[in-house]
Structure 1
Amino acid sequence: MDRTTPLPLQGVTVLDLSWHLAGPYCSMILADLGARVIKVERPGANGGYDPGGVARHQYKGEDVHYIALNRNKRSIILDLKDPEDHAAFLTMVGKSDVVFNNFRPGTMDRLGLGFDALRAANPSIIFASLSAFGNTGPERMRPGVDLVVQAESAGMSMTGEPGQPPVRAGLPIADLAGGMWTAIAILAALRDRDQNGGGAKEIDTSLFDSHLAMIPYFTAYHTINGFTPGPQGSGGHSPTYGAFRTSDDRYVALAVIDQKPWKLLCEALETPELLADERFANAKSRIDHTPELRALVQKVVEKRTADEWMQRFLELGVPAGRVNELGETLQKPQVKARGMLVDIEHVLGGTIQLLGTPVHMTGYQPTFVSPPLIGQHTDEVLKEFGIERANPTHAGADSEGAL
């Protein structure tokens, strides 16, 4: 990678055994920050991005799901059940900082690559494992994916409209949370190692814990006051905290709870009668009269288009947003200004656009390199580690290690 200034994680090498979404998302965060991420794939694997065998979206024959999660990485193929490749991997461990996987608990041990084996090869290795429910506890061996975890961790019970069946969040929030929390843990372990020394460290994160950790204040409401949240609809905190349909059949989302924004909203809606109504005198009374107030606000909002309302809300400082489709969001000048959509020259030719990194800091100038073809860097990387492999790349793949 051609970089003119050092990146925060430059000099850190990560051996990445992850697959599907949560794991590669985690290692992409590290790669964007400058780590040398070497993604290790099984022979014949497609990266684990279409377990059903069908790539839903492709670019020049490559799975777009894979492309979206693997920029700035290098890819090699090793059969960790083959003695030669197994030995090669342990040699690489001895010259690396992090080994990361998101297999089911026990998979790395069965491969002879558990924590004890890794720290024997490298006494300062950081071994990070991300699984559905974690390496301990009665549910450690349960299979789980994002949807299962959203259900089990109470997220689905809070998503959807009141009185309607539960729905999953539109984003795979459990997978993304698991990837981010694991990246945070790896960064903390690297900092601790470099600052305090010490030996190898084992990190155990899970999708379940990570999703649950994103429910802090509702949990406190429940444990302290016995409150159990239900479906939040498009808002949930107040009758004027949610989405309202406009005259052009679009939606604007209002985030109005407290008195100052409530007064601004009444001014924007040109409804002084609502401001004077005792039923809506303060936040608590407005919540007590939620159905009446929502109906009154909806009747006003549906008289103008979403763009007309947004112009007025922005002029007056009302906290509000237009409910955009993805294409509309990506065209926003703010996206361009923040560098959140980047052009990348793909290794097969042509330019693709992917999301950039949300990390901005002094002296950090990210560079985005094409996601690799699976196995593209096998010979090159092994030579860098001083490994001369006699056998060619092995064929065939299996499904061992699913979350």
Structure 2
Amino acid sequence: MTSTARRPLEGITVLDLSWHLAGPYCTMALADLGARVIKIERPGANGGYDPGGVARFEFQGDDVHYIALNRNKESIILDLKSEEGREVFFHMVAQADVVFNNFRPGTMQKLGLDFETVKTANDKIIYASLSAFGATGPDTTRPGVDLVIQAESAGMSMTGYKDGPPARAGLPIADLAGGMWSAMAILAAIRERDAFGTGAREIDMSLFDSHLSMIPYFSAYLTTNGFVPGPQGSGGHSPTYGAFETADGSWLVLAVIDQKPWNLLCEALEAPQLLEDPRFASAGTRIEHTEDLRKAVQEILLTKPRAEWMTKFRGLGVPSGSVNDLREALDHPQVAARDMLVDVPYVGGGTVKLLGNPVNMSGFEKTFASPPRIGQDTDRIIAEFTTGAKENAQ
């Protein structure tokens, strides 16, 4: 990393005991913003990113799942079940700002690394935990992964199509939500400590809470009006709010509800008959005749390829978009314009293209260092954190 600009979290050290997806996603966000994140792995670990240690895809012999979630970090191997490993860990805690884990509740206690014990080594430590259901409540010890959380926190009941089976969101949204909310909580605790001089703080986050918090207005519809939402398909708000197929087999979405965009849509479709039809005169009457309107719009859209329709829609300002696969999305001009796909030099050789960081801030220059190979920094970091302590003890 060769940036001369100061990064927002420079000077913050995070001891990262996380694994799989939600935890490493959280700490990668902190690392991208300048925190020093030291990833602590157990002996023999493969990173814990795929069940059974099976790497679905590899780059330079390393697990791509691990690579994608651990840039800008350092990595050490430490046996926290051994006295020697625990001694090193507590030396590190004494000089760190944050200890983060996403183990099942009770695991850190079994290791003798619970909050009350850890804060004896550092009375300013921020001790953050992320688990499936949190450290309180009847389900605290239940195992839970993204799929389980999406199911139990209502996400799956709203994904898919009416009369079809429940569907998981294509993105592991519960894991990602848990990681993002945890990063926000850690940042809030750092700010509180630095602004007000508060002592150690324990943060208890859950995937269930994080995913549920992303359903604000539907929850309000239920609590105020008793409305229980079902599958939303590709839209749900209006007959012209959703996905439609075009002549070349590609799909696009329309996000048309109100009167002005409805007028623009009819102009783009060259369909004055829709504009003049009393069944479609207002948003309310259009919803009442959803099936007829969707059928009419779909028939028109099947007459031309997607690119031609999108040119017309963009020219008139019709709220619309292409249903892109991932390759098409990464080729989007906004990706290059905002540096959201970056070449990162890889410690194993060559470069790897990874998604960039979405935070743009004046005075903040983004830098991307290679994800470490597991344990590559062990000797250097142990020496750094223990040498001074040993000298002071003499």
Q: Same fold (TM over 0.5)?
A: yes
- 1:89-104 equivalences under 5 Å are 89-104=89-104
**2:8 counterpart SS class:** coil
Q: What's the CA shift for 1:273? A: 1.2
Partner of 1:264: 264
Partner of 2:168: 168
Q: What's the CA shift for 1:213? A: 0.5
- Report runs of 4+ in structure 1 exceeding 2 Å deviation: 386-390
Give the residue type in structure 2 aligned to 1:235: G
Query: Does the CA contact (< 8 Å) of 2:127 and 2:203 recur in 1?
Result: yes
- 1:231-310 equivalences under 5 Å are 231-310=231-310
Give the residue type in structure 1 aligned to 2:196: N
Partner of 1:323: 323
- Alignment length (residue pairs): 390
Alpha-carbon distance in 1 for matches of 2:70, 2:314: 38
Partner of 2:220: 220
Q: Please, which moves more after superposition, 291-300 or 44-53?
A: 44-53
Percentage of identical aligned residues: 67
Alpha-carbon distance in 1 for matches of 2:295, 2:171: 29
**1:112 counterpart SS class:** coil
Partner of 2:5: 5
Pair 1:351-2:365 in alignment: no
Alpha-carbon distance in 1 for matches of 2:332, 2:158: 30
Give the residue type in structure 2 aligned to 1:331: D
Give the residue type in structure 2 aligned to 1:90: F
Partner of 1:373: 373
Alpha-carbon distance in 1 for matches of 2:369, 2:42: 23
Q: What's the CA shift for 1:111? A: 0.5
Partner of 1:142: 142
Alpha-carbon distance in 2 for matches of 1:3, 1:90: 31
* Shift in alpha-carbon separation, 1:16–1:160, aligned structure 2, 3 A: same
Q: What's the CA shift for 1:276? A: 1.4
**1:121 counterpart SS class:** coil
Partner of 1:386: 386
Partner of 1:61: 61
Give the residue type in structure 2 aligned to 1:12: I
* C-alpha RMSD over aligned residues: 1.2
Query: Does the CA contact (< 8 Å) of 1:76 and 1:378 recur in 2?
Result: yes
Query: Does the CA contact (< 8 Å) of 2:88 and 2:386 recur in 1?
Result: no
Give the residue type in structure 2 aligned to 1:219: S
1:292-330 per-position Cα deviation (integer Å, ceiling 9, x unaligned): 111111011111101000000000000100111111111
Alpha-carbon distance in 1 for matches of 2:373, 2:382: 16
**1:232 counterpart SS class:** coil
- 1:148-227 equivalences under 5 Å are 148-227=148-227
Query: Does the CA contact (< 8 Å) of 2:125 and 2:199 recur in 1?
Result: yes
Unmatched tracts of structure 1, length 5 or more = 391-403
Alpha-carbon distance in 1 for matches of 2:186, 2:262: 43
Partner of 1:397: none
Query: Does the CA contact (< 8 Å) of 1:382 and 1:388 recur in 2?
Result: no
Alpha-carbon distance in 2 for matches of 1:53, 1:25: 19
Partner of 1:126: 126
Query: Does the CA contact (< 8 Å) of 2:279 and 2:285 recur in 1?
Result: yes
* Shift in alpha-carbon separation, 1:295–1:243, aligned structure 2, 3 A: same
Alpha-carbon distance in 2 for matches of 1:319, 1:32: 33
Q: What's the CA shift for 1:387? A: 4.3
Q: Please, which moves more after superposition, 277-286 or 200-209?
A: 277-286
Q: What's the CA shift for 1:228? A: 0.6
Alpha-carbon distance in 1 for matches of 2:252, 2:52: 38
**2:19 counterpart SS class:** coil
1:255-298 per-position Cα deviation (integer Å, ceiling 9, x unaligned): 11111111111111111111111111111211111111111110
Q: What's the CA shift for 1:2? A: 2.8
Alpha-carbon distance in 2 for matches of 1:222, 1:269: 37
Unmatched tracts of structure 2, length 5 or more = none
Alpha-carbon distance in 1 for matches of 2:331, 2:216: 33
Query: Does the CA contact (< 8 Å) of 1:84 and 1:389 recur in 2?
Result: no
Query: Does the CA contact (< 8 Å) of 2:127 and 2:202 recur in 1?
Result: yes
Q: What's the CA shift for 1:388? A: 9.1
Partner of 1:394: none
Alpha-carbon distance in 2 for matches of 1:230, 1:286: 20
1:319-364 per-position Cα deviation (integer Å, ceiling 9, x unaligned): 1001111111111221000000000110011111000000001111
Partner of 2:81: 81
Query: Does the CA contact (< 8 Å) of 1:178 and 1:207 recur in 2?
Result: yes
1:75-129 per-position Cα deviation (integer Å, ceiling 9, x unaligned): 0000000001101101100100000000000111110000001111100000000
Q: What's the CA shift for 1:53? A: 2.6
TM-score by length of 2: 0.98
**2:14 counterpart SS class:** strand
**2:52 counterpart SS class:** coil
